[in-house]
């Protein structure tokens, strides 16, 4: 009996010892894994760093590329497209004008009644129409017939307020947010479809011509006065309400910028200089790249696996389409190399783009003591049932690093535009204001992003110069802006000026 007891004690002691060794080993492993988590975090932080000196280099590189893109076609990664908009709205516009905004799976038709400086936009009405999927991959005539029919139906609902003077044709501004080679203010050939559209017989055709033919087929008499992209529309909408607006930036799913350039500073412009002396340039700045951009291993792999490798590099590190995806890639590395979510990698974490930027924004904005929103988002999106506070704090840090880099680089881009215009430093005795009109869901809804962008721009400008630079939200520029451009380039402008 005694022997057995002794033996049992020995076995028990050995088991306790083995268990203790196992626990110590687990702790060492888990502390080793946690150290790897912190290491991945630190490397990301270093690779994404945007000290003020680097931002100045990025801004200078942006200015250099702007000059090169204005000098010759294909001379720069920045296309610096001539928009043919040389007469931005002033607020004096009267009458009523239509807009058509086609940029995705829905399009909008809109009419706007303008009452001059006193009344501005007196009334606006719009309708949103979904495009049936089969028309997105069918024939050009079918798509444009569908759009023209919807426009004709909308015109038929004109109320008493929208009165057209005798002998006048209705005028329309057309926002078309696909790659176009503009040939005049009211014509441009489609370079390629994007966003799920694939209609071969439209490529290389004048999209305004296609729309006019469709309108004629449905018996609608309307003149297309202006073909613009959404960024130029935002600039027009901003300028209409504020004469100091010099540039527009869209920070949404994608990103772009447009600004007002002095016509004589565009060497590749071979036409007559416009009366206004100005020309709006559509930069297509999403395609900017420079050795000064702080790129990480995650950016390189994302770009390599994308549909357009080597293109849109700036867009891939600052826009809403990609920020959540960068976060997913870092979390995947932590899960694979440091068992961040436990012994197995959550299967959902392997799905590209499963973490959308609005989810990242919601987590980044979480101020609850136990970071409850972070926990619930990880559970809902990645099906990770439980996460510790320590893990949630890491996720917040990742959001902060990725969003701050994007916001600070956006600020550097804006600073580059201001430098190109000579508006980055205060002029002696001058009180010129420079206003940047912003639009897009990323700017509007991701508060940490927009606040960081604005504070970084102030940091670049310095206290004195930042007094004369203002960032404003110009909502729905792409719709109203097109109608305003139809007004400011109206064929009846001289009639109304002389009457």
CATH label of the domain that carries residue 428? 3.40.367.20
Contacts of 86 (CB under 8 A, 6+ apart): 263, 274, 275, 276, 278, 279, 280
Looking at the structure, tell me whether residues 133 and 198 fall in a common domain. yes
CA gap 476, 100 in Å, rounded: 13
Select from 448, 328, 320 the least CA-distant residue to 384. Answer: 328
Q: What is the CATH number of the domain that holds 165?
A: 3.30.420.40
If asked whether residues 329 and 272 sit together in one domain, one would say yes
Domain total in the chain: 2
Other beta carbons within 10 angstroms of residue 217's beta carbon come to 13
Beta carbons within 10 angstroms of residue 275's beta carbon: 9
Helix (H) or strand (E) holding 475: none
On whether both 295 and 170 belong to a single domain, the answer is no
pLDDT tens digits, one per residue of 367-404: 999 999 999 999 999 999 999 999 999 999 999 999 99
The pLDDT value given to residue 142 = 96
Whether residue 304 sits in one domain with residue 212 = no
DSSP code string of 157-224: T--TT-PPPTTPPEEEEEEE-S-EEEEETTEEEE----TT---GGGTTSBHHHHHHHHHHHTT--EEE
* Structural domain harbouring 292: 51-81+243-474
Tokens of 380: 């809902």
**What pLDDT is recorded for position 253?**
87
- Residues 277 and 354 grouped into a single domain: yes
pLDDT digits (tens, 9 = 90+) for 146-168: 999 999 999 999 988 887 888 88
Last residue of a domain, one of 194, 228, 262: 228
Residue 275 in domain:
yes
Residue 164 lies in a domain: yes
Is 146 within a domain?
Answer: yes
- Whole-structure pTM value: 0.87
Instruction: Answer whether residue 410 is part of any domain.
Output: yes
Residue 481 falls within a domain, yes or no?
Answer: no
Mean pLDDT by 10 residues, the chain (499 residues): 43 46 49 92 98 98 98 93 91 91 88 86 90 93 97 93 85 91 92 86 96 97 93 93 95 94 94 90 95 98 91 94 97 97 96 96 97 98 96 98 98 98 82 92 96 98 94 81 91 57
Residues assigned a catalytic role: 195, 230
Q: Look at residue 476 in the predicted model and tell me its pLDDT.
A: 65
Q: Is the domain of 148 the same as that of 192?
A: yes
Residue 3 located in a structural domain: no
Are residues 285 and 374 both part of a single domain? yes
For residues 56 and 112, membership in a common domain is answered with no
Strands 469-473 and 81-82: unpaired
Q: What is the largest CA-CA distance in the chain?
A: 121
Residue 408 to residues 138, 257, 337, 398, 497: CA-CA distances in angstroms?
Answer: 42, 16, 30, 15, 45
- Does 138 reside within a domain? yes
For residues 465 and 171, give the distance between their C-alpha atoms in angstroms, rounded to a whole number.
Answer: 41
Residue finishing a domain among 193, 228, 263: 228
Structure tokens at 134: 């089969």
User: Do 192 and 307 sit in the same domain of this protein?
Assistant: no
- The verdict on residue 439 lying in a domain is yes
In a shared domain, residues 68 and 114: no
Residue 5 and residue 13 in contact, taking contact as beta carbons nearer than 8 Å: no
Q: Do residues 173 and 298 both lie within one domain?
A: no
CA distances to 5, 19, 20, 174 from 14, in Å: 14, 8, 10, 82
Residues 179 and 284 in one domain: no
Contact 474, 438 (CB under 8 A): yes
Q: How far apart are CA 436 and CA 362, in angstroms?
A: 26
State the Cα–Cα distance between residues 311 and 194, nearest whole angstrom: 14
């Amino acid at each position: 009996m005694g022997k057995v007891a002794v033996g049992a004690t020995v076995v028990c002691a050995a088991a306790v010892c083995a268990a203790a060794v196992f626990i110590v080993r687990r702790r060492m492993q888990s502390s080793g894994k946690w150290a790897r988590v912190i290491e991945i975090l630190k490397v990301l932080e270093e690779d994404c760093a945007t000290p003020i000196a680097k931002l100045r280099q990025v801004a200078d590189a942006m200015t250099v590329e702007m000059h090169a893109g204005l000098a010759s076609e294909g001379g720069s990664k920045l296309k610096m497209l001539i928009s043919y908009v040389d007469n931005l709205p002033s607020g004096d516009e009267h009458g009523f004008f239509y807009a058509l905004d086609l940029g995705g799976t829905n399009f909008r038709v809109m009419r706007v009644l303008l009452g001059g400086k006193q009344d501005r936009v007196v009334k606006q009405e719009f309708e949103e129409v979904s495009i049936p999927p089969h028309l997105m991959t069918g024939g050009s005539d079918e798509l444009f017939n569908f759009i023209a029919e919807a426009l004709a139906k909308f015109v038929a609902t004109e109320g008493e307020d929208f009165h057209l003077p005798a002998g006048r044709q209705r005028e329309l501004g057309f926002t078309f947010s696909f790659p176009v080679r503009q040939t005049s203010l009211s014509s441009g050939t489609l370079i390629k479809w994007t966003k799920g559209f694939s209609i071969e017989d439209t490529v290389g055709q004048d999209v305004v011509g296609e729309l006019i033919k469709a309108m004629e087929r449905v018996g609608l008499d309307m003149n297309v006065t202006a073909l613009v992209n959404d960024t130029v529309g935002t600039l027009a909408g901003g300028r209409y309400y504020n004469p100091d607006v010099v540039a527009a930036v869209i920070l949404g799913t994608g990103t772009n910028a447009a600004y007002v350039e002095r016509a004589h500073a565009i060497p590749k412009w071979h036409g007559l200089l416009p009366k206004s002396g100005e020309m709006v340039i559509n930069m297509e700045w999403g395609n900017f790249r420079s050795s000064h951009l702080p790129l990480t291993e995650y950016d390189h792999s994302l770009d390599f696996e994308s549909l357009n490798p080597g293109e849109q590099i700036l867009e891939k590190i600052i826009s809403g389409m990609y920020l959540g995806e960068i976060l997913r890639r870092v979390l995947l590395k932590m899960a694979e190399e440091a068992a961040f979510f436990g012994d197995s990698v959550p299967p959902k974490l392997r799905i590209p783009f499963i973490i959308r930027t609005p989810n990242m924004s919601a987590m980044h904005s979480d101020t609850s003591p136990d970071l409850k929103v972070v926990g619930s988002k990880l559970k809902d999106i990645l099906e990770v049932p439980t996460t510790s506070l320590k893990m949630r704090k890491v996720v917040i840090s990742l959001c902060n690093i990725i969003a701050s880099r994007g916001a600070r680089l956006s600020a550097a881009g804006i600073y580059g535009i201001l430098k190109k215009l000579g508006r980055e430093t205060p002029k002696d005795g001058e009180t010129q204001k420079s206003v940047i009109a912003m639009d897009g869901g990323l700017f509007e809804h991701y508060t940490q992003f927009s606040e960081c962008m604005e504070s970084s721009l102030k940091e670049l400008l310095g206290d004195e110069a930042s007094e004369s630079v203002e960032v404003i939200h110009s909502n729905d520029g792409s719709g109203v802006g097109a109608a305003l451009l139809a007004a400011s380039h109206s064929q009846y402008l001289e009639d109304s000026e002389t009457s």
